[in-house]
Structure 1
Amino acid sequence: MRVVIAGAGIVGRSIARELLGNGHRVLLVDRSPAAMKISSVPDAQWLLADACEISSLDEAELADCDVVVAATGDDKANLVVSLLAKTEYGVPRTVARVNNPKNEWLFDEAWGVDVAVSTPRLMTALVEEAVSVGELVRLFTFQQGQTWMAEFTLEESSPVLGRTVGEVELPGDTVLVAIVRDDRPIAPSPDDQLEAGDHLMFLSSPDAEAALRTLLGKA
């Protein structure tokens, strides 16, 4: 897979190292000469250019890449890169970094964003997940499909406790994708009985959130 990353700061370089380690080809693009720390990610390709300009994206051969990651520290730049990647080059998948949570509502299909990643929101979610038993916690939002991943830790008073997965009628557009029990993931089967302390991982739509909360006992 060929990935173009706009923004060669700490975030962009970290993503590049992970992708390279997984066998992908990576091009880092940044307009700042100070960001050209080529020795820090020597296996990546590097391009000194403004990723918000068509000529730069032509040089980066965006039409031949599988994924574009907009990872700059500027939300406006990340939106522009995502939009150009989708509308001008037909890139199959775009992932955009959200720096300011107040701008998160902009990172959607209209701006060419498939997946928006908000570091502050993610950190908040992980904190809440660590301390909140019996609370439905959003972990990720996949903007284009209007789908989010959420986690719920079963408490003793949950109405679904002791029931099997097959006995629990989930709201529409909601899927139980995993149960984490004793720090081990379980692929849910209809016969699996739900226990106190189970971490339930759901994929769902925002419209189903209220019904899911009611089902789990958190209306």
Structure 2
Amino acid sequence: MKIILIGGSKLAYFLAKQFASKNYYTTIINENYQEAKSLSRSLKATVIHGQGSDPATLSEAGAYQADVVLSLTTEDEDNLIACQIAQKEYGVPRTIALVNDPENQQIFEKLGITVAFSATQIIASLIEQQTASSDIQNLLPIAEGKVNVTEIALEQDNPVVGKTIDELQLPNGTLIACILRQGEVIVPSGENSLQSLDRLVVIGQPESYGQLMRLLCNE
């Protein structure tokens, strides 16, 4: 696999080390001369001093043969442009962009970036997971982090016990996929009521996760 990393000096360093362990061919583009020089001395990777949003620099980095372009600069505009050029001019099949401002994530996705990830949202999600009730288990991100699957146990004093699913008014983008009750698996409808000691398998988009936890876990 051939990967082009743009920017992200320290992050690029550790990623390149990981890729090297998998025998991936990695090229790093960094516009800071001193950082580029340092990376070239410490990594088994090709390092180019230049801007990743410059078509000529991408061409020099071998974008025509690249399988992935990963842009990690501190400027969202540069990350977006680099990925778009890689896709449209060089036919790179997979582009990944760091989104520094979480509000830009949907814009990146609508403009065709294969994966746009926000470090801010990832950290916030981790904090929510760690501070949530101990009765929440098995959080599983799927579809490249766009959907979470969570298992939640309902204690007797949980205010949702006795309510039907329709009465809960679940947040948009979430659903209760199944109820685990005394060894039985129930695929619920809106008329099913919840009982104490039920374990709920819920599916939801990350942006709705906090609201869902507050509703089902009495937070």
Same fold by TM (over 0.5)? yes
One-letter identity of the residue aligned with 1:124: A
Contact conserved, 2:99 with 2:118, CA < 8 A, in 1? yes
2:150 is aligned to: 152
> What is the alpha-carbon distance in structure 1 between the residues aligned to residue 88 and residue 129 of structure 2?
37
1:94-124 deviations in Å (ceiling 9; x for gaps): 11111122322322141x3111111111011
One-letter identity of the residue aligned with 1:28: I
Determine whether 1:162 maps to 2:181.
Answer: yes
> What is the alpha-carbon distance in structure 2 between the residues aligned to residue 82 and residue 164 of structure 1?
49
One-letter identity of the residue aligned with 2:186: E
One-letter identity of the residue aligned with 1:162: R
Matches of residues 184-199 of structure 1 in structure 2 within 5 Å?
196=199
2:19 is aligned to: 19
Q: Return the TM-score normalized by structure 1.
A: 0.68
Backbone CA RMSD of aligned residues: 3.8
SS where residue 108 of structure 1 aligns? helix
> What is the alpha-carbon distance in structure 1 between the residues aligned to residue 141 and residue 24 of structure 2?
26
1:121-176 deviations in Å (ceiling 9; x for gaps): 1011011111223789896775xxxx713142412258823276863269xxxxxx
> What is the alpha-carbon distance in structure 1 between the residues aligned to residue 47 and residue 72 of structure 2?
15
Q: Which has the larger radius of gyration?
A: 2
1:87 is aligned to: 88
How has the CA–CA distance of structure 1 residues 48 and 84 changed in structure 2, closer, same or farther, with 3 Å as cutoff? same
In the TM superposition, what is the alpha-carbon distance from 1:20 to its structure 2 partner? 1.6
How has the CA–CA distance of structure 1 residues 22 and 84 changed in structure 2, closer, same or farther, with 3 Å as cutoff? same
> What is the alpha-carbon distance in structure 2 between the residues aligned to residue 25 and residue 34 of structure 1?
22
Contact conserved, 2:68 with 2:93, CA < 8 A, in 1? yes
Q: Return the TM-score normalized by structure 2.
A: 0.68
> What is the alpha-carbon distance in structure 2 between the residues aligned to residue 61 and residue 27 of structure 1?
8
Identity of aligned residues (%): 22
Determine whether 1:113 maps to 2:113.
Answer: yes
Gaps spanning 5+ residues in structure 1: where?
A: 171-193
Contact conserved, 1:126 with 1:139, CA < 8 A, in 2? no
